[in-house]
Structure 1
Amino acid sequence: MYDRIREKLNILADAAKYDVSCASSGSTRKNDNNGIGNSSSGICHSYTEDGRCVSLLKILLTNHCIYDCAFCVSRKSNDIKRAAFTVDEVVELTMSFYRRNYIEGLFLSSGIFKNADFTMERLLRIVKKLRLEERFNGYIHLKTIPGASPELLIEAGLYADRMSINLEMPTEAGLKLLAPDKSHEEVKKPLGFIQQNITQFKDEKKTGLIKHVPKFVPAGQSTQMVIGATPETDMEIMYSANEYYKNYSLKRVYYSGYIPISYDSRMPAIGTQPPLLRENRLYQTDWLMRFYGFEVQELLNPANPHLDTDIDPKLSWALRNLDQFPVDINNADYRMILRIPGIGVRSAQKIIQARKFGKLRSDQLQKIGVAYNRAKHFIKCADSPYLLREPDAPHLKNLIVAESSSKYLKTPQNQLLLF
């Protein structure tokens, strides 16, 4: 690799690391043209739903930018090394890395140089050349440039598996504070436009009137928020995420704990640690909303605008709603079983299937995979003793934490998603 290309790669791969919205799922692009590569269900040094770890080449086209967003390492006033790839250099790097089995796909973003269309047009040329000239069938996640023309977005959607555009800050007020040249409307327009076209292409395929309907952003859209750079509450953050899930059918919202990169009086002080625990609690809340049937208002509301740091949001909700417990594990519906602390989606599904053959006992629940030491305070099963109700939620919380052998509860700095 030429020294100059290697230097560019070091600069632009390092600048890309701050963008966390690079996982993927749902793409079905197949290698049916004798080309190179196959798209898989998850990319970018992330874990897929079936536990596989996958990787991608994650770079910026350039870190030159016309904007001066206070939270961004590529802001135009930041004194850093600048670089830019050519279209051919990105294509050659992607194919070279793939042939060496280093990557399974490409995550491509960019600073904005000259204007939105100028930048988006070059991103489009890259993905188009990969698909048509190199016949590359691996996964491609392309970041949308705010303000780019609809024509460019539509064409890009025919070649990318996933497209995303960063919301940046959870609220308009926070965005105006740190990036006064941007607005959430610039994000909503392309999100809405792409979603409209995704729906249109799917409808055309369903009708069967058009013989060959091309794939259009088959892995959907995502967005990202920076957390901790502005003073929004957890409630404001998750209400914003909920709005975008419902209005634009997003696959994921990513929450990126703010990492101090340069001094600015509007930002948290340099040297502060990224809010990793808060970031994890937000992901747990997001998970409960998407897979456990919780409404955002149940988890966060004016009476409880912040997530607990010492316990997960599902346990926190249960302790605030003890009147709904204990739940009879042998009679309750699936929705209510999902709400029991210590029971996840797979365990709940197994419970529904297993109880068809008889009443379930505590030992059977443990074999199914239920975290019984936590769940036992909230359930009744076939061999449950008389349940002595704990006097109050604080007492029960302390009891659960004391009984737990999980690092999840005892050392919250090293959390895992566990329900």
Structure 2
Amino acid sequence: MTDTVLEKLKILAESAKYDVSCSSSGTVRRNAAGTLGNTVGGVGICHSFTSDGRCVSLLKIMLTNHCIFDCAYCINRRSNDRPRATLSVKELVDLTIEFYRRNYIGMDSLIPASKISNLTQGMFVGAVSDNFDERIEQKIFHAEIVIDTAKVSAEMEAYRPIPVIADFRNASGDDTMKTSIDANYRQIKQEILSLVDSEIARIKSDPKLQGLMKG
């Protein structure tokens, strides 16, 4: 993503968040119990629900916030002094694909679950909106990420095995991980208690520090 597209994205996400539906677009919110999840500020990722109750992440931005009208209630009205931007169709499609590849957004709600189950790995779908002077007849697209399987296989063959850092099996082949973790926990706890006791004794024996002790 270029700096120019990123700047457009921030502007158009800000312009799109003033809406009844999916109003988390362009806002920063940390996840909490019972809420919709995290939102990333300024990039237009918001959350909504599908008809079957699933929560999905969507890319909700405007294609442009230029407007010839001057509606008093609208943040994008002509007379409002705010940054303006317009994404080309290619920029929006590339942006959607890039976000999908990074797993920022999900697009499975665009087609029924029965069809999703028949998709081959690497296939994805998306939807775009048009504007007054740039009509898009085919708003939903279905594409495939082309993978060079030979190159990927060659790369995987060059992988080195991950070295064993710690083996929790004893000479008999029994898994001693829980026992080892418990022993480490008890040792650390005892060392902390010993450290606290030694510090308390040091403070009590130092006239300059005795005032730090209560009781």
Q: TM-score, normalised by structure 2?
A: 0.42
Higher Rg? 2
Q: TM-score, normalised by structure 1?
A: 0.23
